Structure 1
């Protein structure tokens, strides 16, 4: 609910005539949005992120309770095979909804000879210009899809996906051998299959009412965390034109506005109180420190001195034959390791590689789709890697300490995602 309210309020920024608003009106718009942002990111995080972030407490708790039930009832089911199915949410993620809408538009493009020819014979930068003349209805539908979903990969500072990126995806699909109708049918069928398996398993393993509630809680956590994250990306995307306008009035860049604390923005715009040197220093290096008595931002040498005194917790396994983690989606795969932590790393990925990351995010999904298996240091059934693995049915092991430090590009490994084991071969 908080995420939906935040999305509703932040959308008002996109529809506001920002240049014609007064300074006070801009700040009112910002504060109204920030109210829901704080609740969504504060209260929401305590429910959907912190609950499982430390040592996968929720994931392991659900796992252990179901494991005990299977043992006590003498069930022949292997928990690793069914855990991902049981904890799959009934609701589809926003990424899944975009994929279905994308495929439906690809089907429409292929059904229209003129539009198909435009996509096949033009650069992405020229497609919309020619499509507007040839098929205004399709032109409008593509623009609507772009507006509805361009922010999915925005994260905290953008950029949003460009229209050309969407057009490029459609181009690749309609030029290739894959049939969008078959892909959509498979996508929907696999989703139904998982939900049907879920219903069948509930009957077969005879979960108690209490365990059903626990499993349902796991499903809701997975969905809420994913939805909350996308709502946050939407909000950050909506802030961008507001911050650009505030920066224009103050003679500052959007990066300098981003470097402000939220309570500094009203003072900057209404009182013209801000320190340009400090904002520039924060962009180079900044440490935000808080305790029960104070909140302070250190920059420059002060920040470096502070960091030398901080003891960071490190958890690494040694590669003695194998690494262990939590199964997120069962299955097995053999392949070549590619470390992918940033979008710039994605060019390394080839079909069938084993993708290893500290954690994944929506920007990395194109690479994840190529993977024979996914491995991440971030863990828990609510981590992004686990969510995408279940949606795409890719074998995955999460919660592997130091995975992207111990494994290296080019390593040949065998991933047993049913038992949470990675072995070098």
Structure 2
């Protein structure tokens, strides 16, 4: 790793924080920067993006870009996608293949457990293979599932096109609802698949009143033993379900979903007594949506090019969720391998998390490791990536590095109204609850307005309680946009500073049809 790089200060292009990412370790952060800008160029996304920074503080990260570099990149990619749909489709296919391979490699490595049986070299190679697949998945995905809409250019083009078509056809349509319908994928996400599978298990109970009473009345902690006696086949099915989906909300550092989580969901569905209805609705939803999309295309008389663009927009939305899910599965696998590395190197798992991938081999094979440096990286460090390589700075050197840079200032004082992107239409009022971490979820009550820097699978339980969702970052393909559409919850994304402007308890109105959040 180079430690002598300095930023190019030949022009006054300020840095800014585009996203705050909770619980991010070097397994993810360092690997993300490998070939970052170069691969964007290789994919045809232009050669503007040449620098990127992660600032790590207490295990949480800030992702930073230069303003002009990001603007020119996002603008170039969106314009190229609109101009050349075939290029966009090809890029999306590459993303899907890389993500699928990453998950396959992660699954292959999990099957090699217990890792104690592996030699040091075999363990180092397993980590290398996994990180290589992870790097390829992340690098390919940047162009079309992140940068294409980092500044809303692609979404704005599609939205404005729909408004123009509706006006030309003299149609009185809610364009936000039309946009939401035309950009919602028909292919189910892993979250939707898991939901259908546990609904199917709950349907089994419908004609067995005695078993239903047992499940409803038994305390959660006693439910496994009760099912073991009453219906061991059902318990085995629920256990298989947990083993299949334990990683679903893992994010980058865990924890996994245990059997108690799925038993609680299952017990709740049995108590509601409408699992059969919900399952029928879930299975029929894609068919209804497909018919709605076909009708809208005909009603608006979309031409072939724009039909293809909306097809690819749906692919991007699906890919965003698919890539994230593959990454969380891969993150679990990487963490399991690192636990074994930590055991062999006599360091803590937390210290192992902050090894950079080039250090895995030397740590295992040559015992080259600095535990103090690893903890310093977690406390405060900077990872600076350029086309020439990656540099890591820790402690005071990291702070000095940051101070030398020109930073963009955010105006958050005396702001009462914010604009963002309408991800799922609707208008509601309620009290703000800021949820950035899993530990914030207990604050959420039904009907609250959930504000977040960005959402991720572990926050879904809070999202399900929200009357509306508002995020600082995100666009067409972000997690909040995807989940809000699944849940039919009004959602505004990309407000940039909502969590800095509003605080817990503030009353706000969320107009997700027009993308406006206003303090009452």
TM-score for the superposition, normalised by structure 1: 0.93
- State the match for 1:330 in structure 2: 425
Change (3 A) 1:322 1:284: closer
Residue equivalent to 2:72: none
1:48 is matched with which residue? 145
**For residues 13-412 of structure 1, what are the structure 2 equivalents within 5 Å?**
13-16=109-112, 17-53=114-150, 55-113=151-209, 115-175=211-271, 177-316=272-411, 322-412=417-507
Q: Provide closer, same or farther for how the CA distance between residues 302 and 335 of structure 1 changes in structure 2, counting only shifts above 3 A.
A: same
Report the 3-state secondary structure (helix = DSSP H, G, I; strand = E; otherwise coil) of the residue aligned with 1:263: helix
CA distance in 1 between partners of 2:267 and 2:399 (Å): 48
SS in structure 2 of the partner of residue 328 of structure 1:
strand
CA distance in 2 between partners of 1:109 and 1:374 (Å):
34
Deviations, residues 330-387 of structure 1 (Å, cap 9, x unaligned): 1121222211111121212111121111111111111111111111111311011111
Deviates more, 1:261-270 or 1:118-127: 118-127
Unpaired runs of 5+ residues, structure 2, are 1-96
Structure having the higher helix fraction is 1
Long gaps (5+) in structure 1: none
Structure 2 distance, partners of 1:213, 1:318, is: 43
Q: Relative to 1, partners in 2 of residues 1:73 and 1:304: Cα closer, same or farther, differing over 3 Å?
A: same
Deviation of 1:215 (Å): 0.8
Q: 1:320 to 1:260 in 2, by over 3 A?
A: closer
Q: Which moved more, 1:111-120 or 1:250-259?
A: 111-120
CA distance in 2, matches of 1:313, 1:149: 42
Task: Tell me the distance in 1 between the aligned counterparts of 2:467 and 2:284.
Answer: 21
Q: Residues 62 and 218 of structure 1 are in contact (CA less than 8 Å); yes or no, is this contact kept in structure 2? A: no
Aligned 8 A contact 2:199 2:269 in 1: no
Residues 342 and 349, structure 2, Cα contact 8 Å, conserved in 1: yes
Change in 2 beyond 3 A, CA 1:316/1:84: farther
Q: Higher mean Cα deviation, 59-68 or 205-214? A: 59-68
- Separation in 2, partners of 1:147, 1:316: 47
Query: In the aligned structure 1, how far is the partner of 2:136 from the partner of 2:223?
Result: 42
Contact 2:412–2:500 at 8 Å: present in 1 too?
Answer: no
Number of residue pairs the alignment of both structures matches: 423
TM-align CA RMSD: 2.1
Residue-by-residue CA offset, 1:169-227 (whole Å, 9 max, x unaligned): 2223334x452223333434444433322121111111000111111111111011110
Say whether the 8 Å CA contact 1:89–1:222 is kept in structure 2.
yes
How far is 1:274 from its partner?
1.2
Alpha-carbon shift at residue 314 of structure 1 (Å) = 4.5
TM-score by length of 2: 0.77
Does the 8 A contact of 1:333 with 1:414 survive in 2? yes
Identify the range of structure 1 (85-94 vs 8-17) with the bigger mean alpha-carbon deviation: 8-17
Cα offset, 1:315, TM superposition: 4.4
The answer as to whether partners of 1:316 and 1:401 remain within 8 angstroms in 2 is no
Give, in whole Å, the separation in 2 of the partners of 1:304 and 1:10: 36
1:381–1:184: structure 2 CA closer, same or farther, 3 Å change rule?
Answer: same
